[in-house]
Amino acid sequence: MGRLFGTDGVRGVANADLTAELALGLSVAAAHVLAEAGTFEGHRPVAVVGRDPRASGEFLEAAVVAGLASAGVDVLRVGVLPTPAVAYLTGALGADLGVMLSASHNAMPDNGVKFFARGGHKLADELEDRIEQTYRAHASGEPWDRPTGAGVGRVREYDQGFDNYVAHLIGVLPNRMDGLKVVIDGAHGAAARVSPEAFARAGAEVITIGTEPDGLNINHECGSTHLDKLRAAVVEHGADLGVAHDGDADRCLAVDAKGNEVDGDQILAVLALAMREAGSLRKNTVVATVMSNLGFKLAMEREGVDLVQTAVGDRYVLEEMKAHGFALGGEQSGHVIVLDHATTGDGTLTGLMLAARVAATGRSLADLAGVMERLPQILINVRDVDKSRVTSSEELAAAVAVAEAELGSTGRVLLRSSGTEPLVRVMVEAADIEQAQAVAERLADAVKSALG
């Protein structure tokens, strides 16, 4: 059996891969591991539990709450809120852990369990490994040490979470955005109420799409993975910009007034220069992943901003930022971390800061995003292959070497197995789109041949 935890918690098809029993068992295991690590020492432990609007989140939330309470942890249920809101509330309320039920940008049938440590930070790999080992040991028959009587956890609703989180977002903005017209696509997800409310309180005229979640429509042809409706709405309403979230609102993509996409790299570039101007870009450095467009790297070099690159995954960006005291980092997919104000990627905060920059400068988003030129980049997801052999296949290594020789210094190749889905990602950049497409298709065929 493979490792349960991926790069972003435990994720799978709800009620098939991710069952109520698994969610309950993992929650009990997390409580025991954190207790053994001394997290609960000297006080009665408290957990914050939230979810996105997926239908399966209802029974999975019940399982997680039951597991935590059965292990002696008091639970604050905050309901449907973004992942970064649960992280923020975990820290702000002094809770010992946070739990978010979401599969982020994945389709509705999927769901996931993500744990946050005290302070709202993602759990260290070592703690996740111990939780998994503990879960497996008890799943195979080892009995739990269970509290009784007054020792069991108590459960209560925490209804102030929404207002507390929105107030936090407004409180950290550098300026208001009065007069700005913004379209928000909430992906029928966790930000469907939060993001429009925050933008409105910040002074924007708000038009919404994708803000009517029914438990089944999350991410369906909307949100950050499907920008067509947002493009059309921005143009139709003559808006200054549009902002799109994913299901759990830990990411943000944007479109300019003409409906052109502004991706995570461009957002990072805009915010890096804004933060440098404000004196908050610590060590004059931005952190990104190896998937960032080569154009982003060239733009940062030209602007005199240092760039540190990490493995793909916002957790690795965050680790680098925390280790070296950097203030800004993110991914091309729209995970942007502003560490002074959030412990994880926060799509609503990112959108607010981007819109605030447009308002403060009086420049269009297209003009601001023009600080970098995106080189043509082709990404192909290859499914139904053995992703564990990406780095060990000699046949695949030879195909990559041929591609790199063809591209020379004007492009690059990146192959990686997805941390959250059963597939291999093939990414090719080149100065010419046709060449990038041709090389990517060849490599995708090579992946199928070598790993199929």
Distances (CA, A) of 402 to 312, 393, 398, 411: 24, 15, 6, 13
Check the annotation: does 292 bind a ligand: no
The 3-state DSSP class for residue 252 equals: strand
Residue from 27, 56, 104, 417 carrying the catalytic annotation: 104
Whether 104 is catalytic: yes
Nearest-CA neighbor of 287 among 268, 262, 260, 263?
Answer: 268
Give the per-residue SS3 of 107-175. Answer: CCCEEEEEEEECCCCECCHHHHHHHHHHHHHHHCCCCCCCCCHHHCCCEEECCCHHHHHHHHHHHHCCC
Query: Greatest CA span in the chain, whole angstroms?
Result: 70
Nearest-CA neighbor of 131 among 12, 293, 226, 4?
Answer: 4
Return the number of other C-beta atoms located less than 10 Å from residue 76's C-beta. 22
The 3-state DSSP class for residue 410 equals: helix
Check the annotation: does 250 bind a ligand: yes
Place of tokens 């950290």: 172
Nearest-CA neighbor of 8 among 344, 267, 399?
Answer: 344
Nearest-CA neighbor of 189 among 225, 235, 242, 234?
Answer: 225
Cα distance between residue 295 and residue 420, in whole Å = 26
Check the annotation: does 248 bind a ligand: yes
Pairing, β 377-383 against β 74-80: unpaired
Token digits for 54?
């997926």
Element (H, E) at 293: none
Amino acid identity for residue 50 in this structure: G
What positions carry a catalytic annotation?
A: 104
Binding residue positions for Mg(2+): 104, 246, 248, 250
Binding residue positions: 104, 246, 248, 250
